[in-house]
């Protein structure tokens, strides 16, 4: 579907051929549901792709940071005189979280 300026709209009205006059908004932006004559507020696929790539990059950065923190903590625990007890306690927490008893 084209806007008045010639750009492609992400959403458009679809008329059911079996029931004339029955309209569906595809995919369905909230602004046009409230006011059918307003401009579409849907995110264009190219914009969505860019946003999702940024989100994935941020999640990867967070995962890398968390992994480094875990490795640092593990290294600190491993040199502790009480390391075996700490690891056993961590294993029991993990088992309890998974619902394993014993």
* pLDDT < 70 stretches in the chain: 1-9, 28, 101-102
* Burial environment of residue 10 by CB neighbours within 10 A (0 to 12, 13 to 18, 19 or more): middle
pLDDT of residue 68: 98
CA angle 9, 12, 17 (to 5 degrees): 150
pLDDT at residue 83, as a whole number: 94
| Domains held by the chain: number | 2
Is there a domain that residue 5 lies in?
yes
Indicate whether 37 and 50 sit together in one domain. no
Same domain, residue pair 6 and 35: yes
55 shares a domain with 72: yes
| pLDDT at 79 (0 to 100) | 95
Alpha-carbon separation of residue 97 from 10, 19, 74, 100 (angstroms):
44, 54, 20, 8
Owning domain of residue 83: 45-97
pTM over 0.95: no
CB 32 within 8 A of CB 40: yes
The answer to whether residue 50 sits within a structural domain is: yes
């Amino acid at each position: 579907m084209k806007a008045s300026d010639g750009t492609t709209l992400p959403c458009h009205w679809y008329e059911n051929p079996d029931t004339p006059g029955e309209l569906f908004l595809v995919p369905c932006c909230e602004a046009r549901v409230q006011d059918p004559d307003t401009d579409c507020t849907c995110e264009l696929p190219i914009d969505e792709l860019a946003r999702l790539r940024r989100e994935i990059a941020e999640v990867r950065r967070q995962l890398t940071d968390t992994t480094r923190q875990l490795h640092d903590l593990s290294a600190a625990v491993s040199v502790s005189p009480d390391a075996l007890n700490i690891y056993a306690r961590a294993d029991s927490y993990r088992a309890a979280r998974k619902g394993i008893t014993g």
